[in-house]
């Protein structure tokens, strides 16, 4: 088990703070490419068998499937992405909020679990002055690790944009 998997899942406050901190000044096609290739590099370094997807609005701007990933990862990407699009926050935060109420997303959201999955790995792409304009999603690792990989890439990408 990796060190990330051993860590406790982030709290609602920690997840909310991540989203507040990871607001980008812009998000262009070139930014999608840069973020996507950064995610692929990080995943390769970790030998992570993941698929990566980045969308802005209804358009897929980046997709990659690394060795070890499967078509199931693409299905998970779609289900997790729909949660971000519906709730406007990370899929891990949505699932964590339901668990904090003593229930699960599947039991209480009234949404089809074949269409929506509140499992970690999908994160909103938020732009200053515009709000949430897209999604970045990773699938293939345990949900907290999928989420952590996306956050690490967004932190680096934001630092590069700001620098």
Tens digit of each residue's pLDDT, the chain (163 residues): 344 445 678 999 999 999 999 999 999 999 999 999 999 999 999 999 999 999 999 999 999 999 999 999 999 999 999 999 999 999 999 999 999 999 999 999 999 999 999 999 999 999 999 999 999 999 999 999 999 999 999 999 999 998 7
Tokens of 101: 């109420």
Name the pTM for this structure. 0.94
State how beta strands 59-65 and 23-24 pair: unpaired
Q: What is the pLDDT of residue 7?
A: 65
Instruction: Determine the pLDDT at residue 2.
Output: 42
> Which segments within 43-144 are labelled E, that is strand?
51-56, 59-65, 122-127, 131-139
Domains and CATH numbers, the chain: 9-162 (3.30.450.150)
Residue for token digits 């990796």?
2
For position 162, what pLDDT does the model report? 83
């Amino acid at each position: 088990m990796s060190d990330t998997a051993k860590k406790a899942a982030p709290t609602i406050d920690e997840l909310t703070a991540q989203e507040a901190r990871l607001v980008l000044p812009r998000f262009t096609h070139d930014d999608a490419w840069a973020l996507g290739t950064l995610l692929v590099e990080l995943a390769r370094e970790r030998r992570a068998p993941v698929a990566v997807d980045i969308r802005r609005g209804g358009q897929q701007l980046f997709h990659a499937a690394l060795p070890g990933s499967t078509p199931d990862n693409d299905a998970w990407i779609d289900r997790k992405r729909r949660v971000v699009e519906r709730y406007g926050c990370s899929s891990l935060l949505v699932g964590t909020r339901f668990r904090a109420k003593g229930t699960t997303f599947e039991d209480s959201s009234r949404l089809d679990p074949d269409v929506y999955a509140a499992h970690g790995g999908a994160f909103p792409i938020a732009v200053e002055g515009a709000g949430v304009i897209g999604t970045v999603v990773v699938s293939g690792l345990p949900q907290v690790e999928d989420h952590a990989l996306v956050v690490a890439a967004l932190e680096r990408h934001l630092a590069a944009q700001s620098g």
